[in-house]
Amino acid sequence: NEPQSDKALIPLLQEMGASINVEGDRLIIRGGKTLKGIDIDANDFPDLIPALCVIATQAVGKTHIYNVAQARIKETDRIHSMSAGLSKMGAKIETTHDGMTLWHSTLHGSHVEGFGDHRTVMALCVAGLLASGKTVVSDAEVVNKTFPLFIEEMKLLGANFI
């Protein structure tokens, strides 16, 4: 019942093929499922763009994210920031004025710009976990805006963050 539109991620992941069951206040997630690319009208949840972009690189086929021109006027232009970072990591992406299309990609480590945006930084850190090699994300301190324990929580989950 969270008012944040971020909760839209659960049905999107389910549509992509993820095994996620909601039982009361619990999520039961079963890994090992192959995600498939889908079309996503992201107008109602522009803050999800960074996370959706990373997820899309792991989905078979293509994922088209559209109707989200307002993502260009957030803390940064998130269409640009995610396209720049993920492209540098090897992702195949095409951008438009109001969205982007991403294809399944094998990511490799790189030095990427966080653009001073907490969601871009967190998403690129997760992309680094999926990539081969070392990834360095600039502006990591901006995660303090919304998730000051991000690095510590990721380490508890097994991430090798320095």
Digitized pLDDT (tens) for each residue of the chain, 162 residues in all: 666 788 899 999 999 999 999 998 899 999 999 999 999 999 999 999 999 999 999 999 999 999 999 999 988 999 999 999 999 999 999 999 999 999 999 999 999 999 999 999 999 999 999 999 999 999 999 999 899 999 999 999 888 887
What is the pLDDT at residue 70?
Answer: 94
Rounded Cα distance between 136 and 128, Å, is: 8
User: Helices 118-130 and 78-88 sit at what angle, rounded to 10 degrees?
Assistant: 20
pLDDT score, position 3: 65
How many residues in total does the chain contain? 162
Other C-beta atoms closer than 10 Å to the C-beta of 101 total: 17
pLDDT at 7: 85
Contact 84, 11 (CB under 8 A): no
Catalytic residues: 47
Structure tokens at 32: 């090992």
Cα–Cα dist 99/129, whole Å: 24
User: Three-state DSSP class for 9?
Assistant: helix
What's the pLDDT at 6? Answer: 83
Give the largest Cα separation in the chain, rounded: 41
Among residues 40, 32, 34, 33, the alpha carbon closest in space to that of 12 is found at: 40
Output the pLDDT for position 2.
Answer: 63
